Structure 1
Amino acid sequence: MRHSNRGPSAAAENRAALIKAARQVFASDGYNAPLSAITRAARVGQGSLYRHFPDRISLALAAFEDGVAELEALAARPGTTLEEVLDLVTRQTIDSTAFIDMVRAETHDTRIADIRDRVEALLTAPLAQAQRAGRMRADLTPGDLMLAIGMLAGILAKLPASDRQRTAEQAWNLLRVGLNGERPAG
């Protein structure tokens, strides 16, 4: 399929189409989905992809930025609980395990480390509030929560989308035993 070249005037539109397509393709096919599937979904050529995003990480970071910003905004709102933040993380993970796959990837790319640090940092204040309220163990760290989120994403990535919500609820019920000493529901 040939794409007509609309020139520089289409640059912003092409970039937006690539980000939207990346979100959809990563959500359905995972972080390692072929980039050609993204360009097909965006209805742009490979050249447009690489003009805007020189590598997979650049594209993924752009695709996931809105989700991270949404988490940061929620965590910064006064009175937000850790449970609310973890609920949003879980909803985002159910929708697309690709983000967690990216931040858990064994890489020394500082861009991934920076995004991982942002997510870990946004957990700090809600975790401290939950610990002061006695809802989480005092010795837990944001890194421990990142590990729990990664474990959840690893499970969800292997399941069809239709089974993710139920499985996420079961997994959090089990994880709560270790995080705060609660007995599992059910």
Structure 2
Amino acid sequence: MPGPRRPNRGPSAAAENRAALITAARQVFAAEGYGAPLSSVARVAGVGQGSLYRHFPDRVALAMAVFEEQVAALEALAAEPGSTIDDLLAVMTENAVASTAFIELVSRASTEPDPRILGLRERVVGLLQGVLDDPRRAPRIRPGVSADDLVLIFGMIAGALAHIPASQRHATVRRAWSLLREGVEL
């Protein structure tokens, strides 16, 4: 649903417009995926496309702003001494159900070597690997399974979720994990 068009308040509205664009992008990417038209983001935010491109020169910059907080939350969870790989996978799975755009963006790093995407992907891989390296935090994961393997799995899950209605995503992701767990667990 488009936001109301705001009057142009010039530079004083920059922070508000940026926040509105990030919120709108989160909604639009969740509903339509990473490839959603950026004009939809501007419309939902209630700003013009010029404002969108002043803050975010391209799709990756906008997506990075949206997903930065999800990665920061994952990093905080991974830093907690009692957290497990299951805790991280649960949060990542819920994020994938809510919006496949995040996983799609991280998964693209292997085919689109944009340094911004690679940096985000490396942060996710690093936090997953840090937990995998401690057998007490990943007791059910088969030795030899890497963080890159888990990111690949999430890419496959996101690919499946991107093509089904949101109402069916939870059931699909439960089924996908059930099928995939045999490959990553003892």
Task: Please give the TM-score of this superposition, normalised by the length of structure 2.
Answer: 0.92
Match of 2:144 in 1: 139
Cα distance, 1:102 vs structure 2: 1.3
Match of 2:180 in 1: 175
Gapped regions of structure 1 (runs ≥ 5): 182-186
Cα distance, 1:179 vs structure 2: 0.2
Match of 1:14 in 2: 17
Deviations 1:8-29 (A, max 9, x none): 0000000000000000000001
Partner AA of 2:73 in structure 1: E
How many residues are matched?
181
Q: Distance in 2 between matches of 1:28 and 1:134?
A: 35
Match of 2:81 in 1: 78
* Percent of aligned pairs with the same amino acid: 56
Partner AA of 1:39 in structure 2: A
Q: Distance in 1 between matches of 2:184 and 2:118?
A: 24
Cα distance, 1:134 vs structure 2: 4.1
Q: Distance in 2 between matches of 1:180 and 1:103?
A: 24
Matched, 1:25 2:35: no
Cα distance, 1:135 vs structure 2: 1.2
Match of 1:184 in 2: none
Counterparts in 2 of 1:86-165, with a 5 A limit?
Answer: 86-105=89-108, 106-130=111-135, 134-165=139-170
| Compared CA separation, residues 164 and 146, structure 1 to 2 (3 A) | same
Partner AA of 1:102 in structure 2: L
Q: Distance in 1 between matches of 2:159 and 2:136?
A: 26
Gapped regions of structure 2 (runs ≥ 5): none
SS of 1:129 mapped into structure 2: coil
Cα distance, 1:4 vs structure 2: 2.5
| Compared CA separation, residues 71 and 134, structure 1 to 2 (3 A) | closer
Cα distance, 1:144 vs structure 2: 0.8
Cα distance, 1:128 vs structure 2: 2.2
Task: Please give the TM-score of this superposition, normalised by the length of structure 1.
Answer: 0.92
Q: Distance in 2 between matches of 1:128 and 1:102?
A: 25
Matched, 1:51 2:69: no
